[in-house]
Amino acid sequence: MSKRVDASQPLDDVIISRAIIQEFTKDFVDSLEGDVAIVGAGPAGMIAGYYLARAGKKVVIYERKLAVGGGMWGGGMMYNRCIFQEASKPILDEIGVRMKKWGKGYYVTDSLETVSVLCSSAVKAGSRIFNCISAEDVMIRGERVMGVVLNWSAVSVARLHVDPLSARAEYVVDATGHDAEVAKIIVRKIGKKLFTETGELMGEKSMWAEVGEKTIVENTKEIYPGLYVAGMASNAVFGGPRMGPIFGGMLLSGKKVAELILGRGRGGEGVRRGRAMG
Ligand code: 48F
């Protein structure tokens, strides 16, 4: 028998407000220093957060928009289904996304389920996701990225003149998708210093799923000391093609960036062990 809601419980609006402000602030302050700051909570950023946090790293993901998921919600042309290839199936199986086999080597998922499971997996593994916050700059010390400079996304939307705040991280991941925003900040502020042929962004090429999916994993790497790139931003930085609504490469790229960072670290030790519950 289901329990009846206790409608007689008195509710205090100020207690509700205090709980929200105090709990958010506690987590936000605690996140000012971490192992990995991921910019962008699209599929690549969230799966990177999942693997890094599961391995005990202190991970903070900043997402500009209200909703996580980036370009995944709309599948292809708003037909809300995503395609994955065989190589990415083990990741979907691991986090529990249901899929339908479609011919040889293709799998179709519901994009809403895929985004929800990715988000849930990242958070339950111990990543913190802060939405409505944009990385507008990076912390550079010497010749190394040491963190991100943050502001409420609403500040730039309203064009308010408000200074940002900083959060330190051992490694930063640019998972901002097509715009490769963090990589662009490096070029704009430091010059042609990216680990590309020209030192600049090579720019994304026209859609070609087969090549795009392959190069996105190859292009997932460190692009400036302390700064890695993952997901679509990798092809934008290194001049690979876009791949449209096939998403396996995003997961494989996110997993690869986690493995690369885990292979480095401070002797493999996190600032603090993961905060996964249960
Ligand atoms: O665009 P997005 O989904 O990048 P991804 O994880 O996946 C790409 C695919 O969705 C799709 C594709 C597949 O073939 O090409 O586009 O590489 O997610 C990037 C997220 O980063 C956020 C943005 O709102 C989006 O949710 N973002 C972008 N710039 C910033 C940011 C920023 N400066 N600060 C915080 N978040």
Instruction: Give 270's pLDDT tier (boundaries 50, 70, 90).
Output: very low
HEC string of the chain equals CCCCCCCCCCCCHHHHHHHHHHHHHHHHHHCCEEEEEEECCCHHHHHHHHHHHHCCCCEEEEECCCCCCHHHCCCECCECEEEEEHHHHHHHHHHCCCCEECCCCEEEEEHHHHHHHHHHHHHHHCCEEEECEEEEEEEEECCEEEEEEEEEHHHHHCCCCCCCEEEEEEEEEECCHHHCHHHHHHHHHHCCCCCCCCCCCCCCECCCHHHHHHHHHHCCCEEECCEEECCHHHHHHHCCECCCCECHHHHHHHHHHHHHHHCCCECCECCCCCCCCC
CA-closest residue to ligand 1 atom 22: 40
Question: Domain span at residue 271?
Answer: 43-277
**Is pLDDT at 24 greater than 50 in this prediction?**
yes
Q: Is the CB of 44 under 6 A from ligand 1?
A: yes
Q: Is the CB of 204 under 6 A from ligand 1?
A: no
Percent of the chain at pLDDT exceeding 70: 94
44-67 confidence digits (pLDDT tens)? 999 999 999 999 999 999 999 999
153-162 confidence digits (pLDDT tens)? 999 999 999 9
Query: Is residue 21 situated within a structural domain?
Result: no
Give the number of domains in the chain: 1
Q: Specify the ligand 1 atom closest to the Cα of 245.
A: 14
CATH number at residue 159: 3.50.50.60
Query: Is residue 11 situated within a structural domain?
Result: no
Query: Is residue 17 situated within a structural domain?
Result: no
**What distance in angstroms lies between residue 58's CA and the mean position of ligand 1's atoms?**
21
Query: Is residue 14 situated within a structural domain?
Result: no
Q: Is the CB of 176 under 6 A from ligand 1?
A: yes
**Is pLDDT at 174 greater than 50 in this prediction?**
yes
215-258 confidence digits (pLDDT tens)? 999 999 999 999 999 999 999 999 999 999 999 999 999 999 99
